[in-house]
Amino acid sequence: MPAKSTKQRITEAALKLFEEFGFHAVTVDKIVQESGTSKGGFYHNFKSKDELLYTIHESFISYIIDKAHQAHASWSTPAEKLYETVHSFVRMFEVYQAHVTVFYQESLYLSPVYFDSIKKKRDRYKDMMFSVVKEGKQQGEFRHELPVPITSMAIFGMINWTYKWYKAEGEYSIREIADIYADLIMQAVLTEEARNKKDYQRFFLGHKVM
């Protein structure tokens, strides 16, 4: 295994520092110090502090879009797609919590060109969620009285907020949290008929008592 490149070391150090203190409270000197390189090393690998922030955003949003595509491709019914999307999104926190934190906390500070590029991808991801919910309503699996955009944003909210409080060493594992969120969401959006479908019982915490 090759040793970590300077670029990687910088990215990882920056990620942790941004997560803890916020983009503006972290100086390039601090990042340089923490990653064991120098001003020169930093600006050799990145055009600017902004570009570093952008690469962090970029790597995260690409990953998550990829996951959503997988969920779409691997399952056929809207209920299954939604369940899988929610579950895989939450599990993503295990590895990407710092990315998510920076993504939602600091995207405001991306310079315009970078911001537009990220926004496009973020919107694409949002649209995928909207599609699933829409499809679910059309096929009668999801309650027809729920409007697509609000329901979708509610789901996003529940999931995304996790970055604010989740601690790896906390009482609940990320998988447990994923199970609970998925249960809550499926319980909230499925029609009574779909909820009782045999194949869908696996969505619910069911008999497991926590």
Binding stretches for its own copies (CB under 8 A): 21-22, 24-25, 104-105, 108-109, 144-147, 149-151, 153-162, 164-165, 171-172, 176-177, 180-181, 183-185, 187-189, 205-210
**Sequence-distant (≥ 6) Cβ neighbours of residue 153 within 8 angstroms:** none
Question: Considering CB distances under 5 to 8 angstroms, the limit depending on partner class, which of its own copies, DNA, none binds residue 39?
Answer: DNA
Closest CB 34 distance from DNA, rounded Å: 12
Question: Considering CB distances under 5 to 8 angstroms, the limit depending on partner class, which of DNA, its own copies, none binds residue 124?
Answer: none
Distance, CA of 97 to CA of 117 (rounded, Å): 21
Question: Considering CB distances under 5 to 8 angstroms, the limit depending on partner class, which of DNA, its own copies, none binds residue 160?
Answer: its own copies
Closest CB 146 distance from DNA, rounded Å: 44
* Token representation of residue 59: 């790597």
Q: Beta-carbon neighbour count of residue 167 at 10 Å?
A: 8
Q: Helix 49-74 crosses helix 6-21 at what angle (to 10 degrees)?
A: 90
Name the one residue in this structure whose structure tokens are 């970078």.
Answer: 114
Nearest residue (CB) to DNA, 37 versus 151 = 37
Nearest residue (CB) to DNA, 45 versus 101 = 45
Question: Considering CB distances under 5 to 8 angstroms, the limit depending on partner class, which of DNA, its own copies, none binds residue 65?
Answer: none
148, 137 Cβ separation under 8 angstroms:
yes
Closest CB 144 distance from DNA, rounded Å: 50
Closest CB 173 distance from its own copies, rounded Å: 11
Name the one residue in this structure whose structure tokens are 């570093």.
Answer: 52
Closest CB 137 distance from DNA, rounded Å: 46
Distance, CA of 198 to CA of 177 (rounded, Å): 23
Give the binding site for DNA (CB under 7 A).
Answer: 5-7, 26-29, 36-41, 43-45, 48-50
Nearest residue (CB) to its own copies, 72 versus 122 = 122
Question: Considering CB distances under 5 to 8 angstroms, the limit depending on partner class, which of DNA, its own copies, none binds residue 157?
Answer: its own copies
Question: Considering CB distances under 5 to 8 angstroms, the limit depending on partner class, which of DNA, its own copies, none binds residue 45?
Answer: DNA
Distance, CA of 47 to CA of 152 (rounded, Å): 37
Distance separating the N- and C-terminal Cα atoms of the chain: 41
CA separation, residue 187 to residues 72, 179, 180, 182 (Å): 21, 12, 10, 8
| Amino acid in the structure at residue 144 | H
